[in-house]
Structure 1
C-alpha cells in the first residue's frame, strides 16, 4: 500500500552535515519540506500536525510557563507553542543549524516569524546533549518533534527509553511530555517500540492519532 503525491516542481535542494533537504511544490498540497526523501510538512496540512502535537499537551498542563522543543526545525511547533500567552520561555533545540537557517529563509509560511519572538530561544545542539545538561525539574513541558524513528538514524536514539528517562528528570512534578511517533499504520512495530519505551518511564502514558493527508 502506498500514497502517491504528484510533485509539481523542486525549488531548492541542499545537503547538510546531517541530512538532505528539499523545498518542493506538490500538485495539491502546495509547498513542502522534504528531508531524506520523507515529507515533513506541507503548507496545506502542516497545521493539523503541529496543532495536534502541541495543544493537547499544553492545554492539559495547568500552567506551562517554560517549554522545551526537541527538533521542529521549520519553526512551526515553536509557532504553536507561542500561541499560549502563559508561555514565558520556549527553547527550541535542533541539531541541524543549516536546516533552521533554511527554514528562516524559505519557510516563512510555516514559522510565521516565531523565531523572532522574544520568548523564543533557538539552540543548535544534539537534543540528547542539551537535555543531559539541564537541571532536574526545570521544564513544565517537553515537545519532541523529530523525524520519524524509522527514517533517520540521527533521531532514533531520541526515542529510546534512556532518553525518556532524562526527559522525565528535567520535567517538574506536574510536567508533561508529548512526542510524535511516526505512522502507526505502516510502521506499527516501530510505533509500539516507542510507546513501550514511554510506558516504562512515565506513570501515565496515553496515545492519540491525527490524520495528516501528506503522510
Structure 2
C-alpha cells in the first residue's frame, strides 16, 4: 500500500532533474529510467494491496482515487512509460536529450494524474498540459516538417479543447442554478449523483 502522491511527485521531480545539465548524463538517464520503473512498481504494489489511507495530493483538491479502474489505467501508463524510457536511451542521442526526457516525464506525470483523478476539471487541466508538452515533443528535431505537424496538432487540439470546455461550462452553469458551486462539484461521484437525480426528476 503506497500513496499514489509519491509516484506523481517522483515523476515530476525527475522531470526537473533531467534539465540540470551539471548532473552527468548517465545519472540523468538513470533517474529517467528508474523513476518510470519505480512508478510501475508502486502501481503493481497497489494492485496487489490497494492503498486506503490519506492521499496527500487530495489536500489540493486533485480528487485522487485508488480503485480497480484507476489502477488499471495507471498500470497501462506506467508500463508504456517504462518501455519508452528504456528505448529512448539509445534512440535519442542528441544534446537536447535533457529537454526530451523532461517533456516525456511531464507527459507521463500528467497521464498518471489523469488516471488517478476523479475530478472532471483536473482531467481537463492536466490533459491540456499533456497536449502542450506533446506538441513541443513533436518539434524535438526542429525541422520544418515537425514544426508544421506540431501546429496542425495544436490547431486540432485547440478546437477540441474549446468544445470540451464549453460542455464543462454548460454543465457547471446547470449545477450552479441548483445552488452547488466550487471545484468539488466536478467530482465524478457528485456529477453521477447529480445527473441521476436530474433524470429521476424528469421521469417523475
TM-score, normalised on structure 2?
0.24
Larger strand share, 1 or 2: 1
Which structure's CA Rg is the greater one? Answer: 2
Q: Which has the higher contact order (CA 8 A, sep 6+)?
A: 2
Larger helix share, 1 or 2: 2
TM-score, normalised on structure 1?
0.23
